[in-house]
Amino acid sequence: MAPGAEWGVHRPGSHGGGCREQEGQRQRGQAKPTWGLSRAKKRLLWRFFLSAFGFLGLYHYRLRILRRIEASIPMDVCPTATMPLPQDNFTGVLRHRARPEVPTCTSWGAPIIWDGTFDPHVPEQKARRQNLTIGLTVFAVGRYLEKYLEHFLASAEQHFMVGQNVVYYVFTDRPEAVPYVALGRGRLLRVKPVQRERRWQDVSMARMPTLHEALGGQLGQEADYVFCLDVDQYFTGNFGPEVLGDSVAQLHAWHYRWPRWLLPYERNKRSAAALSLGEGDFYYHAAVFGGSVAALLKLTAHCAAGQQLDRERGVEARWHDESHLNKFFWLSKPSKLLSPEFCWTEEIDWRTEIHHPRLLWAPKEYRLVRN
């Protein structure tokens, strides 16, 4: 849930009298260039600024033409000539040749899960044999509860880990307002009260210490794997055991094609989340992450400690807990990556590599829910 930014350019105007006075000065050869620049250089400077701000404005508002240009940026592919076929504990060997147009593994050998690269029956059978319990956590604080929670839970019942044991953890400041949703066999819902924060940014950053405490308590005792999701999205396709792994990261739908130097990592060196220009692998979305209880305890401890250090220094990472999440995954590489098909937005134009989205962003009505 990233905030937008507004850019404005103020260009000083001039009235008719001022123009006549300057014209007189030019005729007398007495014009004094502003900022120590000649009039021609000033014109070039203004054109540069207006062009730069105009381009940024167009990109910020996601005009289709720019997104179509972005879609032509080539992606890396799995270096199969020098790397063994990627596999994990649930999907087995991936059929990476089924998707030659996208990267199906990372430079450190972790699989990237795309539609068509695995047999869904294999992970389902493996998970059932192990009698796993999968936790799904979600924070529904303030107006996010009535706006998004019921649709999120109802869609999860249809598509999230169908046939598996699931325990939902809903963290909210209004436990009594959590809607009733009929649950299937072997599925539980637990409501955990949390404090209402003054700013939405604080709600976002409170997630990591709250999750760390829960993982060290009841949630960590009853779940084998846990996925942590944002509430303002909903399931549209099967989100099954193929996503399970020790440490699972989600490729960000808006940024998976960008070159590394353009990725929105935290650049303020005073922040514990900072990455230099030469650091980073991918840009990961904090709307979806998961893994084993042990791995998530390390992740949440790192992010919570980094946020606390930033508070002591009087700084705040640009994208809050997501910035710290990206720092953690740079230092501790995830063992599995999910393609943007597992967390997609219809605001992006149709992409040929996105076959079957499993999770979609709900409309972001920030003015309503963050008020």
Of the candidates 322, 346, 353, 365, the residue annotated as catalytic is 322
**150 pLDDT higher than 70:** yes
Residue 192 has a CB neighbour count (10 Å cut-off) of 17
pLDDT on residue 215: 98
Question: What number is the average pLDDT over the span 260-266?
Answer: 92
pLDDT band at residue 54 under the 50/70/90 scheme:
low
CA pair distance 210, 249, nearest whole angstrom: 19
CA pair distance 203, 183, nearest whole angstrom: 28
pLDDT on residue 89: 77
For 239-255, what is each residue's pLDDT tens digit? Answer: 999 999 999 999 999 99
Residues 6+ apart with CB under 8 A from 48: none
Residue 121 has a CB neighbour count (10 Å cut-off) of 9
Residues 6+ apart with CB under 8 A from 36: none
For 2-21, what is each residue's pLDDT tens digit? Answer: 443 334 334 444 444 444 44
pLDDT band at residue 92 under the 50/70/90 scheme:
confident
pLDDT on residue 304: 96
CA pair distance 350, 347, nearest whole angstrom: 9
To the query of whether residue 266 is one of the catalytic residues in this protein, the response is no
Of 56-60, 120-124, 148-152, 261-265, least confident by mean pLDDT is 56-60
Q: Which residue is it, tokens 């250089």?
A: 41
pLDDT on residue 62: 53
Buried b (16+ CB within 10 A) or exposed e, 218-253: ebbeebbbbbbbbbbbbbebbbbbbbbbbbbbbbbb
Beta strand 225-229 pairing with 233-235: unpaired
For 222-233, what is each residue's pLDDT tens digit? Answer: 999 999 999 999
Average pLDDT, the chain: 84
For 192-212, what is each residue's pLDDT tens digit? Answer: 999 877 766 666 678 999 999
**68 pLDDT higher than 90:** no
Question: Tokens representing 333?
Answer: 């590489």
pLDDT on residue 283: 97
CA pair distance 130, 272, nearest whole angstrom: 39
Q: Does residue 136 sit in helix, strand or coil?
A: strand
Question: What number is the average pLDDT over the span 345-364?
Answer: 91
